[in-house]
Structure formats: structure tokens, C-alpha cells
Amino acid sequence: MTITTKPSSPLCSLKGSLLTVAALTLLSLFYLSLDSLRTPPPPSLSAAAESTIHVPTDEDYSDVYHSPDSFRLNYAEMERKFKVYIYPDGDPATFYQTPRKLTGKYASEGYFFQNIRESRFRTLDPEEAHLFFVPVSPHKMRGKGTLYEDMTVIVRDYVDGLIAKYPYWNRTLGADHFFVTCHDVGVRAFEGSPVMIKNAIRVVCSPSYNVSFVPHKDVALPQVLQPFALPAGGNDVENRTTLGFWAGHRNSKIRVILARVWENDTELDISNNRINRATGHLVYQKRFYRTKFCICPGGSQVNSARITDSIHYGCVPVILSDYYDLPFNDILNWRKFAVVLRERDVYNLKQILKSIPQSEFVSLHNNLVKVQKHFQWNSPPVKFDAFHMIMYELWLRHHVIKY
């Protein structure tokens, strides 16, 4: 018997071909996937471009900050979004808009007035502003010999004029407005406008708890005596052989006690007056380089430019000033790079400083070097400098304003 084979149908041949193609496709995709795991994708930026991008390291956000992660994230958001409107009113040739000068112990006020105009944060559109800057400068008034009584009238009339002319004050009763002053008389000058004292953010160099300073509303402005006479110190602990140093006027109770108790001590270098320039060139500044701990008592106000001098020259500051809301206190952990004491501790000052182990001093000194950039003004401003830290403080406060 002859067996005949039935030829396969065209449909079956087509199905077989499709299955073969599908199997080959899956196999190809499998090998391509393996290859992509072995070979990194091509870079989206050239090596030269990548080298210009600063990637923050753990060193940038060390334990000198209360919350390093929060600081990193909030700072980046601030740089992207924060906008400030500067009221254009007021003649720059008188008391408004521009700084008096960028030198001396009130330079911080001048630098802020200049930096805000140089920065990315300024907007010419008030509708997109988060905060409003009231650009009246008591330091310029002081420079022109304006009497205190006249200052209060000038400030009052200027603020009242802004309130009447623009709609922005009344949205929050001034809670989204701020002013900046470093001169001692500046805070008093704004007493002519009680609504500014009560409602607006005060950025001041004399942030004392016992004179109506409100830490969660107001901002402590670091008093920086620029330009610095000598380069920054740091990473030089082996050269620091003097235990403690202070020299200055006895213009406060704590300074009088400090001088009386320790002036003749052999381990603490305490002078009952400023060092006479006749003794040599920059003798005062050079002593910061040789000292481990620089004593910073409050003067006529709670603040002192000696604190930022100490930070700049790498000398661990010893804060002897009650009621002082230290600059950037809600961002920086001052106890990581300074010794913070009560004024009554002055009687035990030497014992306290001598009890600090060398290893702890080295840690304080090293951390001090990390924060130096935060207490330096620049023109134009530089990332993480004093201007940006003040802007960060303002950025934090704008979040609590209710519209």
C-alpha cells in the first residue's frame, strides 16, 4: 500500500515563520539588554562642562549645621525661587536705596544694600515678590549728621508714604516687609514707625532678646569689620600658644569686670584698652593668629565685630554676652565652633578654657574654618557668604507669613 503525504497548508507555514521571527527578536532584545548593563550610556554633558558643576559634598554640610539635609534642600530651593521687591521711592543722594559705604564696623548694612541689587533675588515685578525691602538707611542719615529725633520722623514719613501709595503692605499688615540696619541708632530710628517694629522683619546687628527682638520673626545681622586687615587664619593650631586674648574699651559692665579680674593674668592676654598703633603695625590683628580662644564680651550693645574678627583669623570665639541671638543661630550650631558662656562665667573664665581638652579645641578650630565663608561679605555676592545666609534666613521666615 502506498502512503501519500498531504502537503502542508500555506497557513501553517506562515505561523511557523512568525514564531521563528518572534523568537529571534526576543533573543536579540535579551542580548541588547545584557550589553546595556555592561556599557554605560553616553554622557549628556562634556567632561569640561561637568567639571564646572559644583556637587555638594558631606564636608559642605557637616555637623556645624543643626540640620544639614534641611539646609541643603531649602538653600537650593531658595536659590531657584526667592524673589524680593525693592521699593523704588527715595532719593539715593539722601537716605535711600544705596549704601553709605562698604567699610568700617557698619559695613554689613552697606553690603546688603549693594548685594541685593547685584543678586538674582531682586525682581522688578512686585506681584512675583515673596518679600518687600524698605530701603531706608539710618547709617546714611548718621553720616549726614541727622539728629536722632529727625531720623524717627524721616522713617515714619517714608513708611507711611509706601503704605499709602502701594497695596502690598495691607495684604499682611507689613509681615512680608523687612528693613536692614547695622548702626546702633538704626533700631531706634525705626521706633518712629511702630508698625515696622511690630510687624515687619527687622534685620539688625544688635539682636538682643531684652529689647523687643523676636527671634522667629527678626534676623540677626553679623557685624563684620571689612575689609579685613590680614588674610584668613586657620589650620594652624600649632602656632596658637596664647590661651585667651581680649583688648578693647571698657564700655559695658561685662568688659569692666573682664579687665578687672584678668588684666594681670599670665596666661590670659587681657588689655584694659585698645592696643596703641605705636606699638607696631597690625599688632592687634596679629594677636588673633597666636591665640586659641578670643574673648568676645558685649559692648554698648550685645553684639561685637570682634566675633567675626575671631572667626576670620581662626581664633575660637568665646561669647560673653547675655540675651544675644547669635547670627544664623537657627542654622549653625555655634557650640561646634565657639565657646558660649554666660556673663557670670567671667569669674571662672581661665578655668573653663583650660578645662577644654586639646582634641576638643582642634575640633572647634577645624569647624571654625568651615563657617568662615558665612561671615564674609563680597561684591558681587558669592554662594554661602553672609549675604546669602541672610537671604536664607529671610526665605525661612517668609514661609510663616499668612496671606
Nearest to 311 by CA among 293, 331, 323: 293
As a whole number, the mean pLDDT across the chain is: 83
* C-beta separation of 148 from 189 below 8 A: yes
- Percent helix, strand and coil across the chain, each to the nearest 5: 45, 15, 40
Q: Which residue has the higher pLDDT, 213 or 390?
A: 390
C-alpha distances in Å from residue 19, one per residue of 13, 14, 30: 10, 9, 17
pLDDT tens, residue by residue, 91-127? 988 888 888 888 888 899 999 999 999 999 999 999 9
The residue with cell 556599557 is 39
Q: Dump strand ranges (E) for 134-255.
A: 177-181, 201-204, 219-220, 242-247
What is the reported pLDDT for 2?
43
What is the reported pLDDT for 320?
92
- Strand order across the beta sheet in which 291-297 lies: 268-271, 242-247, 291-297, 316-320, 339-341
Mean pLDDT, range 386-397, rounded to an integer? 97
Above 50 in pLDDT, residue 47? no
Q: Distance (Å, rounded) from C-alpha 387 to C-alpha 377? A: 7
* C-beta separation of 131 from 177 below 8 A: yes
Above 80 in pLDDT, residue 67? yes
Q: Where are the domains of the chain?
A: 68-225+381-397, 237-375
| Cβ neighbours of residue 88 closer than 8 Å, sequence gap 6 or more | 97
pTM: 0.83
Above 80 in pLDDT, residue 41? no
Tell me if residue 158 falls in helix, strand or coil: helix
Above 50 in pLDDT, residue 10? no
What is the reported pLDDT for 17?
45
Q: Distance (Å, rounded) from C-alpha 3 to C-alpha 185? A: 119
What is the reported pLDDT for 125?
97
- Where do runs of H (alpha helix) occur along 168-277? 169-172, 184-189, 194-199, 253-262
What is the reported pLDDT for 58?
55
* C-beta separation of 225 from 103 below 8 A: no
What one-character DSSP code corresponds to residue 175?
T
Q: Distance (Å, rounded) from C-alpha 137 to C-alpha 97? A: 8
What is the reported pLDDT for 148?
86
The verdict on domain 237-375 having CATH code 3.40.50.2000 is yes
pLDDT tens, residue by residue, 323-347? 888 999 999 999 999 999 999 999 9
Tell me if residue 99 falls in helix, strand or coil: coil
Which pLDDT band holds residue 210 (cuts at 50, 70, 90)?
Answer: low
Q: Which residue has the higher pLDDT, 301 or 267?
A: 267
Which pLDDT band holds residue 209 (cuts at 50, 70, 90)?
Answer: low
What is the reported pLDDT for 190?
87
